[in-house]
Amino acid sequence: MATTYKVRGVYSFEVYPPRLGNLFQNVTVMAELDFDSANQEIDVQAMHADFRASVPDIPADPRDYNYLKLRMPSGQITVIGIPWINDATVQEVTSNTIVAEISGGVTTADIPRIIAALGQNGYRTVKVTMK
């Protein structure tokens, strides 16, 4: 059974051929797109041809399926065809909270740099306080 992806949901999965890098970890679904919308983001025809050569059960026409617009943990945006995903590997990532303590020579002046460093690594909801 095909996975239903939730917008703003976070997932980890593999794509069939390692064309885009085989493993997508902790990617956020930003939107589900039709062919025309996806084609504004990537060269759908070229990508479809690459995947079709490796995975013959992908529909022959790239207009016959939808695409996911994804935000990678780095913040980079990419688009992939839903049939390119190995459905057996899809895992929805649940949200948890990490508490980190930084000690030794830190001041309130370090807070913006810590928030910026976390933001550059894809962590968008960050709360930093001093003890």
The reported pLDDT for the residue numbered 122 is 74
pLDDT at 1 over 60: no
Cβ burial, residue 86 (10 Å; 0-12/13-18/19+): middle
Tens digit of each residue's pLDDT (9 = 90 or more) over 28-87: 999 999 999 999 999 999 999 888 887 768 899 999 999 999 999 889 999 999 999 988
Is the CB of residue 61 less than 8 Å from the CB of residue 89? no
Separation between Cα atoms, residue 95 and residue 14, nearest integer Å: 20
Separation between Cα atoms, residue 66 and residue 78, nearest integer Å: 14
* Every domain of the chain and the residues it spans: 10-92, 97-131
Percent of the chain with pLDDT over 90: 47
pTM for the predicted model, two decimal places:
0.70
Tens digit of each residue's pLDDT (9 = 90 or more) over 70-86: 999 889 999 999 999 98
